[in-house]
Amino acid sequence: ETSAPTHFIRQIIERDLAAGKNDGKIHTRFPPEPNGYLHIGHAKSICLNFGLAKDYAGGQCNLRFDDTNPHKENEDYVNAIKEDVKWLGFDWEDRLYYASDYFEKLYGYAVELIKAGKAYVCDLNAEQTREYRGTLTDPGRESPYRNRSVEENLDLFARIRAGEFEDGSRVLRAKIDMASPNMNMRDPTLYRIRHGVIHHQTGEAWCIYPMYDFTHPISDALEGITHSLCTLEFEDHRPLYDWILDNITIDCHPQQIEFSRLNLEYTVMSKRKLTQLVDEGLMTGWDDPRMPTIAGLRRRGYTPKSIRTFCERIGVTKSANSVEMGMLEACIREDLDQHARRALAVLDPLKVVIENYPEEKVEMLDAPYHPKDESMGSRQLAFTREIYIDRADFREEANKKYKRMVTGGEVRLRNAYVIKCEQVIKDDDGEIIELRCSYDPETLGANPVGRKVRGVIHWASASQGVPAEVRIYDRLFNHPAPDSDKSVESFLQHINPDSLRTVQAIVEPSLRQAEVGEQFQFEREGYFCVDQESSHDKVIFNRTVTLRDTWAK
């Protein structure tokens, strides 16, 4: 049905469709908890769930907020998540749900379990509960409250809901098997008491909140989900997922399928750690361009398409691995190489005076926006007697391999003339502060006759160019797996102190009009986009990515 690359989940779905399961329909969901912003790992899950729904006839995908931990969640996160899913190019249409929509129904199912003798109110405290649970090698012990009568359980559970008991004093547990080799099956908690929190959707209506393992299968079933896709750490929760649905009266029993989560080198991908980076002021916010969040990547200059391409390329498997940052960067580079306009920007300006060029003259030179795509049109570059080139493009002396400017040598200015360095001016400390050059008026769009020019460099007019702040980003961490290094106390110790470097650049005049979010290739430098803090009076660019892969070890 589709041209997308196949993987084991597609194969399962296609087998189910062929067998006429679920009335030949596929229905998935993306279930974020609104306790932080979405990151690139979530993008994998979004592309998978929404992508499958798109690829199969009649497919549907719900956006469901898994909002059962009100103390960590809020409406701002809800809104940011919606924005990011949309931005990535997906649409839940009228299928927006909250697990909290089901609180009343969930309560009813809990009562059903109690009535069937399959759930009980337990008064052990957290520490005792842990102790009774046992370990992987020892079976657990049954709670002394396990054999309460149905009547007593019903009464207590109703009074818990009514707010009669303190946080932590009691929980509702499933009665399954304290000797199960699967710890999740040792009478897991279904409900806990939480007073005094205002839930972003239900306000103060509830003082009990259902646990994920109870909420998730029921929410899936209530929504008619056919394939409930989650990450591998939920593999040994699957027996509990199935147990819940097998022990209540509900028609639908979705199939849980696990896949490996995305890990990216040189960053962290847990919301807890990302929250820490933001809360401790190490980042400017969730959308700091160094963050692996969707909002951060967007601000950094990533396009939705580049992220979707990345998610397609990494594939869907069951093997845990870590993906190289170079792979993500290759995706944005490919997209921008095709679509970004070219521009000239000097990031480390060195003044050049062209002595044989008239003093007041401003010559407008036409330059195409893209070397391979005429339809993108062209802009005007201003050529003047004083210009800037990049400091790295000049050496007093260099061998033939150096394809830039040297004393006495000629070089072409991109889209302009050939110039020759006649004299180097230094300050008292011996630092080069200016170059005196000459230009050859015959070389506009033509090669000089009988001489060989070393190379082509970029430039900007000193009087017509625009000062701009350019933010150069590097890896956020100096360690490929900052949160799995056991030799340090905190992953924060691996933060790269040079992850942001700000430079004052001179850019070509047309860039003054650039709008927030617009993307450019600064020739020979990389891909850049206009930051949201930029204005026509103070232009700010973010470096999205370098021109070539710099991650290779």
Q: Measure the N-to-C terminal CA separation of the chain; round to a whole number of Å.
A: 41
Binding-site partner at residue 231 among Mg ion, ligand ATP, none, CB < 5 to 8 Å by type: ligand ATP
Residue type, 212: Y
Active site residue 271: yes
Residue nearest to Mg ion (CB): 33
CA distance 185 to 352: 74
Whether the Cβ atoms of residue 30 and residue 61 lie closer than 8 Å to each other: yes
User: Among residues 352, 373, 78, which one has the least CA distance to residue 199?
Assistant: 78
Whether the Cβ atoms of residue 495 and residue 507 lie closer than 8 Å to each other: no
Q: Which is nearer to ligand ATP, 66 or 187 (CB)?
A: 66
- The CB-of-31 to Mg ion minimum distance in angstroms stands at 7
Contact region for Mg ion (CB under 5 A) — 26-34, 106-114, 149-157, 465-473?
A: 26-34
Q: Which is nearer to ligand ATP, 197 or 232 (CB)?
A: 232
- The CB-of-66 to Mg ion minimum distance in angstroms stands at 6
Q: Angle at CA 355, nearest 5°, toward 354 and 357?
A: 70
User: Among residues 261, 467, 492, which one has the least CA distance to residue 349?
Assistant: 467
Binding-site partner at residue 218 among Mg ion, ligand ATP, none, CB < 5 to 8 Å by type: none
Kindly give the interhelix angle for 40-55 and 304-314, rounded to the nearest 10 degrees. 80
Tokens at 399, concatenated: 């061998």
Residue 40 annotated as binding site: yes
Active site residue 33: yes
User: Among residues 1, 3, 8, 63, which one has the least CA distance to residue 315?
Assistant: 8
**β-pair partners for 436:** 353, 423
- The CB-of-216 to Mg ion minimum distance in angstroms stands at 9
Residue 45 annotated as binding site: yes
Look at the block and give the residue holding tokens 């460099």.
457
CA distance 86 to 355: 55
Residue 271 annotated as binding site: yes
- The CB-of-271 to Mg ion minimum distance in angstroms stands at 5
Residue 467 annotated as binding site: no
User: In 3-state terms, what secondary structure has residue 514?
Assistant: coil
CA 262 to chain centre: 11
Tokens at 369, concatenated: 């926006």
Q: Find the catalytic residue in 54, 194, 261, 414.
A: 261
Q: Scanning residues 28 to 87, which ones bind Mg ion (CB under 5 A)?
A: 33
Question: What φ, ψ does residue 305 adopt, rounded to 5°?
Answer: -65, -40
Q: Which is nearer to ligand ATP, 188 or 349 (CB)?
A: 188
Residue 39 annotated as binding site: yes
Binding-site partner at residue 406 among Mg ion, ligand ATP, none, CB < 5 to 8 Å by type: none
Question: What φ, ψ does residue 139 adopt, rounded to 5°?
Answer: -65, 155
What residues make contact with ligand ATP under the rule CB under 6 A? 31-33, 41-42, 44-45, 66, 230-231, 261-262, 269-271
- The CB-of-69 to Mg ion minimum distance in angstroms stands at 9
Q: Find the catalytic residue in 14, 25, 33, 146.
A: 33
- The CB-of-204 to ligand ATP minimum distance in angstroms stands at 24
Q: Which is nearer to ligand ATP, 202 or 270 (CB)?
A: 270
- Binding residues for ATP, by number, are 33-35, 39-45, 231, 261-262, 269-271
Q: Which residues are annotated as catalytic?
A: 33, 261, 271
- Binding residues, by number, are 33-35, 39-45, 66, 212, 231, 261-262, 269-271
- Binding residues for L-glutamine, by number, are 66, 212
